[in-house]
A and B are shown apart, each in its own frame.
Chain A
Amino acid sequence: MTTMTYREACKQAIRAALQADPRVFMMGEDIAAYGGCYAVSKGLCAEFGAERIRDTPLSESAFVGAGIGAAMAGMRPIVEIMTVNFSLLALDQIMNNAATIPHMSGGQFAVPLVIRMATGAGRQLAAQHSHSLEGWYAHIPGLRILAPATVEDARHMLAPALADPNPVLLFEHVMLYNVEGDVDEHLEGVDITHARIRRPGNDVTVITYGGSLPRALAAAETLASDGISAEVIDLRVLRPLDMGTVAASVARTHRCVIVDEGWKSGSLAAEVCARLVESVFYELDAPIARVCAAEVPMPYAAHLEQAALPNAERIVAAVRQVVRPA
């Protein structure tokens, strides 16, 4: 076991991938000379050279499209987009090419591409740098959407993502980069298909992913001292959803709170909720509750930003309401 930050785990994952396969290379804005806007790729250019760690111009559409083309030509690109907010400039390539071409071509072409990007709020970066749009991407057939919430997943999800013949989007929450955790460097067989129970419990299931996992775990801790045993599920994979794990838990606890940093309307939380209603409606002892971001463009001022985000307190309140309605 080694202790490292989430950021370091991301970097070690990329290093290992570059060492393991000559077809792997990385490109994105400011990843080489600058070291990456969140310093994930710092030092990689010195180690692997500018051919394999490629700085790109500020052309999200062109370099994401180039990643798709390179993948179709036999490479295994890792494309970094600084944040999900900027990925909107590449949405055409992600949606209309990467996600679409395999099916549209009748299975003649696959797009084995990994796109990594930062997501989420909490650093007072205001409304054009702070949104959580992974739920939008989870809407698109043909994509696999991953949200590593632990240092271990940050270290080990990349390899299976690169081995996937389909385009995979990997979302790294900005508030996780400095989190430390233990990692087994040589762990094998980390899957990118299943949700995980991060804390077992009996009274209620709290379903979350990414940057909200630490908040949900903190809430569960508080609830425990209150005599409420919360099971915390980390979705890990936002598409395709592992509803088996989720539904089985809810069928046991009969109560459920979904925590999602996206906006509530049309959110991933809405999708999980709808699927639970479809599959385990008769197991529910209380209405499903959701804790999501306030429906505002993320504000700058710290108190406003915090008020807009899910936090442990709000999760605790939602769980109490579901378990022991006032």
Chain B
Amino acid sequence: MSGDKLHLDHQHLLRLLAQMVRIRVFERRCAELYQREKIRGFLHLYDGEEAIAVGVMATLAPQDAVIATYREHGQAIARGVPMNRLMAELYGKVEGCCRGRGGSMHFFDRALRFIGGNAIVGGGLPLAVGTALGDTMQGRDAVSACFFGEGAVDEGEFHESLNLAALWRLPVLFVCENNLYSMGTALAHAESVTDIHAKAASYGVASEAVDGNDVIAVELAARRAVAALRAGGGPQFLECRTYRTRAHSMFDAQLYRDKAEVEAWKQRSPILRFQSWLENSHLAFDDEVARLEADAEAEVTAAIEFAEAGHLEALEDLERFVVMDEVPA
């Protein structure tokens, strides 16, 4: 679905729910697989933030570029990267989306213009400015959507990138996932001014704060922003206010926040909220919800089987792709 109108039709609403559920189920199984040591390295889960990736991705077209962080399972799934390839990547298998070289933090998919998977806080923003520049110089009608946490606002690259995108009026959709903590550092502990969308506005970037736990609100805001981008309105900024309801990674005792705070946010889970709203408004029925949940479980189970059956990259290929023989077409 594209254009700047949000269609509240049944199929679309169910699709939004299904996408969020797919992410949630995928990651719940990831956490289990981590405990079983099937997945290693860092694993950053998106639990509680699913509405942002799903709402924004619903507004993008195939020619658009997506740049995300190390907490990018949700973006990859919502963009349409097959779960099989994601799970195989987490298993370090050659069937993975990066042939096992990236892992959880570095999902890439060229066909979908999914350009990582960047684990340097703030490091993806300049890249998004560049893809937008390259697209613009080649006359393409494409936007670059760049996801990052509020921790990136501390970094110089955030400010440099917003300025450059605004200066050159490039079609970048900056999506700040403000989940209030960067690792254990509360926003107010790191930023003298905590109103992030106001900082973006100070660069002349059209900027808006939105309830990041409301998938419809996110989609609406993103739809407006993407329409403005396609109309040549220069970069757009969305501060999506949300909360991460799981630990930062698998090595986090969460000493920096109260259990009660986490519990309160769990009650505001974007899936719970959207699902209740759909049911109360008679826009979705129990059996439909049950079916999409079952579908998600089955899809993840199949992905795990695919990953289990996958192969390891040949050791002779260890150094392959360090130096490229050609630019992939």
Contact = CB atoms under 8 A, between A and B. Distances in A.
B132 interface: yes
B90 interface: no
B133 A108 contact: no
Given A73-B134, A92-B120, A110-B324, A104 B98 contact: yes
A102 interface: yes
Interface residues of B, number: 49
Contacts of B40: none
B137 A70 contact: yes
A74 B126 contact: no
A228 to B, nearest CB: 39
B62 to A, nearest CB: 15
A57 B167 contact: yes
Interface stretch (B28-36, B157-165, B239-247, B253-261): B157-165
B258 to A, nearest CB: 35
Given A59-B160, A72-B115, A104 B102 contact: yes
Contacts, number: 159
Contacts of A93: 123, 126
A171 interface: no
B31 to A, nearest CB: 24
B138 A75 contact: yes
A108 B109 contact: yes
Interface string A81-111: 0000000000011001100011111111110
Given A105-B108, A110-B328, A66 B157 contact: no
Nearest to B132: A69
Most A CB within 10 A of own CB, among B99, B133, B157 = B133
Q: Which range holds the interface residue count of chain A?
A: 35 or more
A57 B156 CA distance: 13
B131 A73 contact: yes
A61 interface: yes
A65 interface: yes
Nearest to A240: B323
Contacts of A67: 130
B316 interface: no
A206 to B, nearest CB: 29
Nearest to A73: B134
A165 interface: yes
B321 A107 contact: yes
A210 interface: no
Interface string B121-143: 00101111111111101100000
Contacts of B327: 110, 112, 165
B118 interface: yes
Nearest to A64: B126
A263 interface: no
Contacts of A107: 99, 320-321, 324, 328
Contacts of A63: 126, 164
B134 A75 contact: yes
B326 A106 contact: no
A101 B107 CA distance: 11
A57 B101 contact: no
B108 A106 contact: yes
A142 interface: yes
Contact of B126 (A25, A69, A110): A69
A102 B321 CA distance: 6
A142 B326 CA distance: 13
B322 interface: yes
B328 A69 contact: no
11 contacts: A57-B160, A69-B115, A69-B133, A70-B131, A73-B65, A73-B130, A74-B134, A102-B324, A106-B99, A107-B320, A108-B110
Closest 9 CB pairs of A and B: A69-B130, A65-B126, A73-B134, A62-B160, A106-B99, A59-B160, A70-B134, A66-B130, A105-B108
Given A69-B130, A75-B137, A97-B127, 15 more contacts: A51-B137, A59-B160, A59-B161, A62-B129, A65-B123, A66-B129, A72-B115, A73-B131, A74-B134, A96-B120, A97-B123, A102-B321, A108-B328, A165-B324, A165-B325
